[in-house]
Structure formats: C-alpha cells, structure tokens
Structure 1
Amino acid sequence: MGAGADPHGGEWGPRPSTDLRKKFFLKGKRSFKRKGPEDDSKNLSGDLENFPSDPADRKRILEYHANERDEVRRKYLMKGPCQPRGHKFPPKMIGNKLRRFNSSWFDQYGDWLEYNVKKDKAFCLLCYLFRDFTENKAGSDAFLTKGFDSWNKTERLHNHVGAVNSFHNSALKRADNLMKKGQSICHAFYKQEDAAKNEYKIRLNASIDTSRYLLRQGLPFRGHDESVDSTNKGNFLELVKYTAEQNELVMVSHEIQTEIVHYFAEEIIESVIQEIDHGVFCLLVDESADVSDKEQMAVVFRFVDKHGIVKESFIGLVHVKETSSLSLKIMNMLRGQGYEASNMKGEFKGLRALILKENKSAYYVHCFAHQLQLVVIAIAKKKLEVGNFFDMIAVLLNVVGASCKRKDMVREDHRKRIEEKTKKTEIKTGKGLNQELSFQRPGKTRWGSHYKTLLRLVDLFPSVIQVLEYVESDGSDSTKRCQANGLLKYFHTFDFVFYLQLMLLLLGLTNTLSKALQRKDLDILNAMSLVKSTKQQLYKLRNNGWESFINKVYSFCENYKTELLVMEDEFIDSRKPRTKSNKTIMHHYKVECFYIVLDMQIQEFNDHFDEVNTELLGCIESLSPKDSFHEFDQLKIMRLSEFYPEAFSYVKRVSLEHQLRIYIDNIREDKRFSNLKNLGDLARVMVETKKHLSHPLVYRLLKLVLTLPVATAIVERCFSEIVKTVLRNRMSDQFLNDCVVCFVEKELLEKVTNEVVMKKFQNMKPRKIIL
C-alpha cells in the first residue's frame, strides 16, 4: 500500500459497487466514525478553504477525523508553506547583535520552511503534516513543536533536513507518496485502460469548458437552485452534452462543479499575487447586500505590475464581520486604503482604524466617485425645489417604467415620431442614430445614472406625456391615475423645465469627471487635476452662464407648450400666495435658484475634495512628467519619501537624494519622456526604457504614489446582479465568491488552461481514474 492510501477507508471519490467495497471500505469507515461533539468530519468539508495559513493557528493533524486527514494534508501541500515574504521581520537581540529572520531562506528552503508571524519563529510544514507517524522521535524538534528562532545559527536549517533517513526526509517521502495517487491500493480495484482514460478525460474537459463558459457569462449552473442538494442539472448538463457530444455523462454533480469553479478562482488569485510579486499595493473595499440581503464586502487590490501599468484586481468577497481578521492578513505591504461605507471610516472603529493602527503608511483616500455623487446629487437635493424635482422623477419611473405595457407604449410612440421626422428630413439617419430608447432607473452607486435618466426624459418627453394622459384617463389602478394626473400638472410648469435644464447642465459638467474616475489606471494626481478643472467650469457657469441657460429653458417651453413666465412680474410663492414677496420672478430664479444651487455645488466641491489636498498631494505633484517635468522639486520629493519610512530608511533617503540629481537630467534629455501626461505613463515608459533599473529608488517612490486609490468603481461592479440573481439565491458563500472572481476577472479566466484545472482536480482528491 502506498503512503498516500488511507487504510481506514478515507474518501476516494467514486467506488465500485462490489461486495469487496462493502466489506472493506464501508466497514472501515463505520468503525472509525466518531460520535458526539468532537466529530469534526461533518464540518470539515466546508472548512477546507479556510484552513489557517499561520502555523500558530493550526490544530494538530490527529485532531481531524481519521477519514479526513489525508484530505487535510493534500490541501496544505497544495497551498504550500506559510511564507510572508513582505513581512517586516522584527529584530531580536542575540548575544551582542540584533538578528532577524532572513526572507532569503524561503528561496533556499522554500518547499518546507514556514514563518509564524505571531510567535516570530520558524517551523517545518512537512514535519507538521506527518508528525503523528513517529510521535516520540520528533517531539523535541524545534521546527515541529517549539519553533526555531536562533537566527544566528543558520546551520540548523540545513541540519534539520538531515541525512537520507532523517525524520524530515521521511516526511518528504510520505508527502510525495500521498500526492502519487496511483500507488494507492484503492486504485488497484480499477482496471484503467487507455480507452477508459480517454473517455474520462473527454468528460472532464467538457465539464471544465462548460464551467468556463457559464462563469464568463455570469450564468447559473443549475437554474433556479444552486444549493448543494439540488437535483436540477440545468444549464450545466445541457452544455456538457453539447460540448462533449456524449449521450451519457456522469460528471455533472454539484460537488464537481464547485471544485472546478474553485480551481479556476484559485488560479486567478494566484496570478494576481504573482503580478504583485511581493510589492506594495492598495486595498479597495466596499460593502453591499446581495440579492438575498446578506451583506458582503468586495475586496480589490490596486498595484503596479512588472510592466509599470496600474491595475485593479478583484480577489474575493468577505463577510462584513471578518474585517478584523482581514486587516491582519494584508498589513505587510499595504500602502493605501480606499472605501466609502460609513462603517469602515470610523476613527476608532472599523477597517480604517484597524489598518492604521498596524500600518501608519497605509494612507486613506475617500473614494472620489462617491464624493462626486454626494456633491452633485445629495447636496443638490438640499434645495427644496430640486429635491421635489427628483421625487417627481422617481414617481414617473414608477408609473411609466414599472409596467412593461407602458414602457412598450413609450417606445412605440417614440419610434413613430422618429419615422415622421425622418420622412420630413428633420433628423439625419445613419448607423448608430435614432436607436430605440427606454428609461434607466438611477441608482445611488451607479455614477452618472441620474444624468442618463434625465437625458432619456428629454428625448422621450412627448411620448411620456402621451402615456401619462392614457394612464390618467384609461388606467385600471386609481393610485396610478392620481399619480399620472399630478405628473401631468407638474410637467407643464415652468419650475419643472427650469430644474430639468439646471440639473442636466450640472450633471453634464460632472459627467466627464464621473467617467474618468471609473478608470482603473487613473492616478490621484490626474484625478485632482480633473476635479480642479470641473470646479473652474462651475465658476464660469455661475459668472457667465445665466443667459445661455435661460434661453434653453425658454426653448424647451416653446417646443412642448409648457408654462412661460414673464420675468419682470412679481414672484408669488405658492406656499404663501397672499404674502407679497417684493421681488421679481427673474430675481427668484436667477439668484435664489440658479446662483444658490451653483454656490452649494462649488462649496461642497471644496469641502469634499479638500481631504486629499494635503502636503502629501503637494509632494506627489513634484513627480509629474507634464511640461517636461516642470513641477519637479527635489526637496518636496525628499519630503514625500519621509511619508514611507518602511520603504525609505535614512540610508536609502540619502541615496535617493543623490539619485534624483542624475534622474532629472537623464529623463529630460530622453525624447521618449517628452510627451508624457501623467504618473502612470511615466511608470510604464520607465519600465519600457529600463530606467527603473537605473533609478530604482525613484521608481519605488513612483509605485508607492500610484497605489494610492482614486475610486472604488471596480468594487461596485463586483456586486453585479448578473452574478447572483433571484434564480441563484441558494448558492453558498464560497461558490458565490468563486463565481464573482471568475466573472469580474474575465481576462485572467481566459488565461487559465484546462490542463492546469485538470491537474488540480486530479491532485486534490483521489479520483477513480488517474490521468
């Protein structure tokens, strides 16, 4: 029997229906089944993906059920030893010198050496996994029980490996045998011919191809029920049959599906970690409730890859209660934080405080896009008339947009109007013009959605009026008839037209900024420049924009025959009609509405975006490549390095000062750097021209700056309703996480080959057929 076999009947995948199986496997499994609260076998399957990596948090292998131990060992061997390469290893006084763990030992003893962050000690993964075979012999080994921390005695690492017959090498052989499933006696019961292997490989490939397709499209595997005990094969079975062209297929169980999906997600996460390459990164987090009203946190890493390109990669979902454990896992190389949720921004509580407590260089930047949303929408609604305007838009969407019949009526009427205008040559025709339109309901976190909603309302306005008149006269719901009547009265008032045009103007000015903030490669310096430009446009509109704005209002009123007011008449407040206002209509709309709303916007822009307008941002500006590095200031760049003491010690700051003098002359003379616009371009060209090797400390500082977050747009997109819909409301947290990872990171999903997934699928558990 090979060392990987479980003589007590551990799980070996599908088993032959024979008397021998009944006598040997099932009997053995029953004889070793525990009873009572110490039975871990029931709960282990759900915890396989949550095994602690740090040796300090692990329990002994003997504490697991006998039938599950080999599966636990395989999982740890697949994950590899715990090696926090980016960790700042603390010094320890040994003799008269300070000593510490050397990360280069991971390269020399990478297959077994582990580091315990909590105890600051080294352990051996292989000896931990197989300590129960020779309990008495290995009990005093420092790498197994107490931990090794004599950093001045590096020869102990070599001595631990020992001779050929040492305990460590015996454990290594057992690990090798465990992963060689062909040596198991279980597989001797199966006569594996080449034809059977080929058929098995075809079925497995079909399952992998089908999983890849469903993940890429965000489609459910089993239709309405994604639970473990579901008998519905759904989309998966149909696609497997089509892919493999087989009539009878057996690899359609939910367990196989979840395993394949998990291996895809694992490979994606591993590729992201390889791209980071133990470098610095930023944490982007946002909280949202999924379709089953369970709060989840989406976690995204922002980093600069080996080509100097800024990337944001989604790495998974975390339950909101796990923020404290999450912060401990990402402390070492974290250099930035970006999120908006209020429960994460507290000074003494929440994720922000937890991270800053451990890492002072993890600078927090409030999501720019959320700030923009607060400025443009939330603040504008403080004006009573603007708030009333958006409330009426919400009612309109409920009356017209909530019914398929009424939406079809709007589209059909709009189509007829387009055809009439086309015949009269009032509008142009061509590719992409005059497309079918429908309402889009604005969302709190879908930036720019309010602007699109108002644009659609202007395009569809005559069709909307006609449908509202139909609902008012012929509607079957009395509530909807009353709402339609109120909307018709409001839409024919001057107030409606005025605030419609005003909000279109404001949202149009900020729409460019909103789109730019959702780009993954946008750096914080460029973002602040766009914010500054947007504020300047608001100032220009306030000072010189009234005439052109009021002309648009008059034009809309004339085209659609809505109420027109004489601006020189006295203004009458509808709330106090008998009280004289002693002011004209012009004064009310120009001063108390137009100017007031714009002043509020400008003030809020200054208040919300002032948070990042600090000394740090001023120092970052000195790295800008615009106008041949016109803003370059050596003193400010040296000050910027002081914000990151972990990356720039005193000695490295001295070296940076000397390096900057050569860097600026060398860069300015190179024509390849003459037309760069932002910091992202600078980092990319430095890598392309190998300048990052000539000026490594400058490039290190540049990477730190580029990791600072701008917006959490990609985090919001991770909660797309395409991934988890009402039809999939019973899927487990792990399966949901894996599906979202694969759906969001489609480009990385395509790079994962079938061979890699097949290898993981075969190695993780004993299978009926060995390829």
Structure 2
Amino acid sequence: MCKDLMNQLQHLQRVVNHFTTEQIANNRLQLKALIFIEILHVFSAKVKKAIREEISDGKFCIMVDEARDESMKEQMAVVFRYVNAEGFVKERIYSLLSQHCLDIQNIRRQRYDGASNMRGMWNGLQALILNDCPYAYYIHLKASKQVVPISGFFLTLLFLIKIVSASCKRNEQLKVVNANDIARLINHEELETGSGLNQISTLQRPVETRWSSHFRLVSSLLRMFTPTLEVLQNIIDDAILGEHWAEAESAYESLTSFEFVFILHLEKETMDITDKLCQALQSQSQDILNAVHLVSSTKALIQKFRDDGWDGLLTTLISFCEKHSIDVPYMNARYHHYRVNIFYATIDSQLQEINHRFNEDTMELLRLSSALEPRKALKSFRSRDLCLLVKNFYPQDFTDYEKQVLEKELYHFEYNVVQDPEFKKLKSLSELCQWLVRTRNSEHYKLVYRMVRLVLTLLVSTTTTERAFSAKKVVKTNFRNKMENDLLMDSLMLYIEKDITSTFSLDSIVDDFEDLKERRVLFS
C-alpha cells in the first residue's frame, strides 16, 4: 500500500481512537472497523461537497468508463471536468448527477467508453442528456476489436502470454533464450548496437484500460518471436503427456500459423501509425491544437497505408515466414480473405473508429476552438472563427446581445491582451485561463473568458478515468476483493483526491461524524 494512502488511513485511525471509549471496550475491534468505515464515508462526503462547491453553477463535462475489479465486478468511473474560480482545469472522480443537485443543462460534453456493454448500458443516458441538453456533444471513445479474425488473434495472443509467462521459471528461460538470440544476431551483424539498444526483456502484458499496451505486446512478440518459439518447444518437450502439453502444443501451432503471423505484422503497422495519437489521448494535459494536428496526420497515414501498404507488408511477411520456416499459402487463392477480409477490414475499422471519435462537427469544434490557443493567436488572431464558435456550438451560453458585443470585445482583446509581452509567454489554453484570472483580465473581457472556460471542458485526454481504475487496483486487491461498492467508492475518493482531503482538519471530521450520529439517532 502506498505511503500517501497509509498516511490517510493513519489519520483516520486517530479519529477512530478519539471515539473509542471504555463503553465499547468489549467490542473494540468490531466497533473500530464500523467507525472506520463511517469516518471514511464522512471523508468521502466532504470531498464530494468540496467538488460540488468548486463546480458551483459552472459548465462541466462528464467522462464515463468501465472496467472489471479484482472480484470480476464491472465498476464504473464517472469523472467531471470543469474550470475552477482560479482558472485551473480540474478532473475529479465523482458520483451520479442527481444525488448532488448538478444541473444537466450545464453539461457541455459527454464521453463514454466504446465497449459494446458500455454502449448498450449507457445508450439511454446519452440520449437523455442530448435530448435535454443538445449542446452536450457526445465524443465516442473505443478500443474494440470488431473484425472477427482480429478478435480471435488477440484472444490467441493473451493465451500465448498466459502459457509463456505462467511461472518465474518460464520467464527466466525466455530472458536467457532472448539474450542468446540477441548475441547471435549481433555476431551476424543483423542488429545495431549502442546505448539503450537490445535490452533483454520479456513479453509485455496488455493493460485493459490502455490500448497502447497492446502495441507494446505486439512489438515485443515480434522482437522475441524466436525465443518465444523455443520456450514453447521446451515446454512441449518437458511436459508430461496431458499436463501442459496440449496447451503448449496449441500455442505453438497458433504462433507458427500464417494467419497469426500475418495479423501480427498488420497490427504492428497499424498500431505504429495510431500509437502517437493514443499516447496523446492518454496524456494528463493535452492542447487542442496538437489534437487537431494528430488526428489529421493519423487519418492521412492510415489511408496511405491502406492505399499503398499491401505490397510492402506482404514482402516483409514472406521474408519473416521464410526465416522462421512458416508455410506461406498460395496468395492468389487466398487473396480475398487476407487482403479484403483482414487487411482492408482492419484498416477500415481503424478509420471508422477515428472518424466516429472525431467526426466533422467535433473537428470543426476543435478547429474553431484552437483560435484561442496563445501560440495560434500570436500568429493570426481569428476573431471571426471565435464568433462562429459561439454561434454554432455555444448558442445557449451567450445572449443575442452578448453575441453582438463579443465582436467588439475580441477587437480590444486582440490589441490590448494578445500584444501584451506576458501573453507571449503563455504556451497553452489552460495557462491563458489562469493568467486571465491572475491579471483580472477575466473581469475586463468576460465574454472571452467565458469562451476559454467552455473550451477547456473539451474532452481530449482519457487519463483520469484510467487513473481511477489504476487506483482501484491499489484499493481493491486480491486480499480485499470482497469490498462492497460503497466502501470502494469512499476509499477511492480518499485515495484519488488527496489534494482535497489534505485540507480537512481533524476537528471538521469529528464535527461531521458527530452530526452523522445525531441524525441517525434523530431518525431511528
């Protein structure tokens, strides 16, 4: 358990001890546990209240994602993104809207995971929000493997990892074989040498919430293909018939099949193109301008690979198969299956995913919003685009009169603020927002400041929901896998929102705990 969590729990323990009197000495441990849970709930309630007060009546967006916990239950993370009074962008783990009097009309963005169960489960909520609040633009994020051969490939890939990494002995064996293979390739001058190159490693395990980890897995398997084959062969040779033999034999046959190797190379190429965008979407801080450029370049590169990449892929693949003695089928007879059913289908699925995630409306929203980026504004201040941004995407947030005034305010903003030497030092929209508050320009240019706050709710990064699931693995472990949902939520609030919980005094926790007890006595 991490040091921060231990400090928080020790703080809770001191509060528990405060309430442990001689009257409860006979059931000390049980009552301590109950009081511990109740005080944890007090902490969680205070965190939620602090977040609610910080949001106030401002606009916000919600991110919803799901993943399984240690007890194989589906758990959902709900994250709010908003700008606080000091101009700082905040992303907070939260609970449901209606429980905390948050106005659905203030939602300006919604994002859901793209897994099929998530789409089905939350489809009604998406429709409800869009029906009541048409400007809560829906951005769909997904990492699903919709092409049937690709889905089968990843299932086989996970099976391979399970077999090869089933024990410390097999992992060490893989490293030894890998080291010998690297030495052999260097001797034959088939590998470059240098600092940081040719590191001895093992196969990378994929992380459920991080799609980039699948790219690392595919890359590591290609790099360690020969050592992996050798380890599987050793398992087959050493296994008693029926014990691990069948699994290893099945894994070996899959690994040496042409279709598996074909998809392995195809996924390596496509993921190599999309990985930079995936990494950017998982960055804690992501500027809109960079997102627009990355989406455009990723689309262009994937389309280029679809148009011109088949021959190069096939040449590389055949050379690889010859090197590892893998039979290559007569391609004319299997042309439609490999080129149409797998190659085209996989790339088209990737393009469809990006186009769905960043459709024309979303790209136009991002393009117009990028006019507020300091670097872009210094080169050319696009006041007309900012007026279009308000007119087309935020009509409910500005009155007709304010839309008329906005053009003049932008004119003064361009000559009085953009030309300020301090403005030229700003590197991002979030820095601009904080600077406007700090210099009180947010009061002089209220409409521009309102635009900046609205744009900062745009969802580009996926980091916070993934951080919530990483925290869940710390809080709910194999040894604490029976934790109920309420206790899990309260624990996560305490663990994740440390900056808020650190501001609470012991006296305030004691007071809230006493109020809780008094209310329970009153209504019992």
Question: Which TM-score tier does this pair reach, normalised by the shorter chain?
Answer: 0.7 to 0.9
Aligned equivalent of 2:33: 254
Aligned equivalent of 2:140: 366
Q: Could you tell me which of 246, 249, 254 is aligned with 1:482? A: 246
Aligned equivalent of 2:331: 571
On the 8 A contact 1:300/1:313 being kept in 2, the answer is yes
Aligned equivalent of 1:406: 170
| Structure 2 CA distance for aligned equivalents of residues 211 and 488 of structure 1 | 44
| Structure 1 CA distance for aligned equivalents of residues 351 and 2 of structure 2 | 52
1:223-272 residue CA offsets vs partner (Å, 9 max, x unmatched): xxxxxxxxxxxxx89xx9xxxxxxx9968811231233233333433443
| Structure 2 CA distance for aligned equivalents of residues 261 and 536 of structure 1 | 51
1:493-518 residue CA offsets vs partner (Å, 9 max, x unmatched): 55444432221121122111111112
On the 8 A contact 2:204/2:220 being kept in 1, the answer is yes
Shift of 1:304: 1.7
Instruction: Please identify, of 612-621 and 689-698, the stretch whose mean Cα deviation from structure 2 is larger.
Output: 612-621
1:500-649 aligned within 5 A: 500-522=264-286, 526-543=290-307, 545=309, 549=313, 552-553=316-317, 556-557=320-321, 561-563=324-326, 571=331, 573=333, 594=343, 597-610=346-359, 612-613=361-362, 616-617=365-366, 619-628=368-377, 632-642=381-391, 643-649=393-399
SS in 1 for 2:248: helix
Shift of 1:588: 8.5
On the 8 A contact 1:344/1:352 being kept in 2, the answer is no
| Structure 2 CA distance for aligned equivalents of residues 524 and 484 of structure 1 | 48
- Cα distance, 1:424–1:253 mapped onto 2, change above 3 Å: farther
Shift of 1:327: 9.1
| Structure 1 CA distance for aligned equivalents of residues 290 and 92 of structure 2 | 21
Aligned equivalent of 2:81: 302
On the 8 A contact 2:207/2:213 being kept in 1, the answer is yes
| Structure 2 CA distance for aligned equivalents of residues 216 and 424 of structure 1 | 57
- Cα distance, 1:635–1:346 mapped onto 2, change above 3 Å: farther
Aligned equivalent of 1:353: 127
1:294-341 residue CA offsets vs partner (Å, 9 max, x unmatched): 54432211012334332211124x5xxxx7x45964425332222236
1:38-437 aligned within 5 A: 213-214=5-6, 253-316=32-95, 325-326=98-99, 329-331=102-104, 333-340=106-113, 350-367=124-141, 370=142, 373-374=143-144, 378-379=145-146, 381-382=147-148, 384=149, 386-403=150-167, 405-414=169-178, 434=199, 436-437=201-202
- Residue 481 of structure 2 is aligned to residue 718 of structure 1: no
| Structure 1 CA distance for aligned equivalents of residues 257 and 160 of structure 2 | 15
| Structure 1 CA distance for aligned equivalents of residues 173 and 456 of structure 2 | 50
- Residue 458 of structure 2 is aligned to residue 693 of structure 1: no
On the 8 A contact 2:161/2:203 being kept in 1, the answer is no
1:509-548 residue CA offsets vs partner (Å, 9 max, x unmatched): 2111111112343355643432112112223434555676
1:567-608 residue CA offsets vs partner (Å, 9 max, x unmatched): xx95364xxxxxxx7x8xxx9977886566445533553355
Letter in 1 for 2:89: V
Letter in 2 for 1:739: S
On the 8 A contact 2:105/2:132 being kept in 1, the answer is no
CA RMSD between the two structures? 4.3
On the 8 A contact 1:346/1:352 being kept in 2, the answer is no
| Structure 2 CA distance for aligned equivalents of residues 419 and 311 of structure 1 | 50
Aligned equivalent of 1:180: none
SS in 2 for 1:613: helix
| Structure 1 CA distance for aligned equivalents of residues 279 and 417 of structure 2 | 32
On the 8 A contact 1:535/1:605 being kept in 2, the answer is yes
Letter in 1 for 2:326: E
SS in 2 for 1:465: helix
| Structure 1 CA distance for aligned equivalents of residues 120 and 151 of structure 2 | 29
| Structure 2 CA distance for aligned equivalents of residues 388 and 349 of structure 1 | 27
Letter in 1 for 2:454: L
1:198-247 residue CA offsets vs partner (Å, 9 max, x unmatched): xxxxxxxxxxx999634879x9x9xxxxxxxxxxxxxx89xx9xxxxxxx
Aligned equivalent of 1:172: none
SS in 2 for 1:670: coil
- Cα distance, 1:326–1:754 mapped onto 2, change above 3 Å: closer
Instruction: Please identify, of 415-424 and 271-280, the stretch whose mean Cα deviation from structure 2 is larger.
Output: 415-424
Aligned equivalent of 1:652: 402
On the 8 A contact 1:523/1:708 being kept in 2, the answer is no
Shift of 1:406: 3.2
1:24-72 residue CA offsets vs partner (Å, 9 max, x unmatched): xxxxxxxxxxxxxxxxxxxxxxxxxxxxxxxxxxxxxxxxxxxxxxxxx
SS in 1 for 2:81: strand
Shift of 1:440: 0.5
Letter in 1 for 2:276: T
Shift of 1:420: 8.0
Aligned equivalent of 1:18: none
- Cα distance, 1:485–1:276 mapped onto 2, change above 3 Å: same
Which blocks of at least 5 consecutive residues in structure 1 are unaligned? 1-208, 222-235, 241-247, 574-580, 767-771
On the 8 A contact 1:619/1:636 being kept in 2, the answer is yes
Aligned equivalent of 2:22: none
- Cα distance, 1:685–1:550 mapped onto 2, change above 3 Å: farther
Q: Could you tell me which of 447, 469, 487 is aligned with 2:233? A: 469
| Structure 2 CA distance for aligned equivalents of residues 604 and 213 of structure 1 | 38
- Residue 414 of structure 2 is aligned to residue 664 of structure 1: yes
- Cα distance, 1:614–1:423 mapped onto 2, change above 3 Å: closer
| Structure 2 CA distance for aligned equivalents of residues 600 and 438 of structure 1 | 27
Aligned equivalent of 2:458: 708
- Cα distance, 1:611–1:728 mapped onto 2, change above 3 Å: farther
Shift of 1:747: 4.0
Aligned equivalent of 1:7: none
Aligned equivalent of 2:216: 452
1:634-691 residue CA offsets vs partner (Å, 9 max, x unmatched): 4443343344454312232233232111112224423444476653343344345443
| Structure 1 CA distance for aligned equivalents of residues 276 and 119 of structure 2 | 27
| Structure 2 CA distance for aligned equivalents of residues 532 and 747 of structure 1 | 37
Aligned residues between the structures: 501
Higher fraction of helix: 2
| Structure 1 CA distance for aligned equivalents of residues 120 and 248 of structure 2 | 44
SS in 2 for 1:669: coil
SS in 2 for 1:303: strand
1:691-736 residue CA offsets vs partner (Å, 9 max, x unmatched): 3232111110121122132354422442333222342233333321
Aligned equivalent of 1:91: none
- Cα distance, 1:294–1:512 mapped onto 2, change above 3 Å: same
**What TM-score do you get using the length of structure 2 for normalisation?**
0.78
On the 8 A contact 1:683/1:703 being kept in 2, the answer is yes
- Cα distance, 1:616–1:488 mapped onto 2, change above 3 Å: closer
On the 8 A contact 2:387/2:407 being kept in 1, the answer is yes
Letter in 2 for 1:514: C
**What TM-score do you get using the length of structure 1 for normalisation?**
0.56
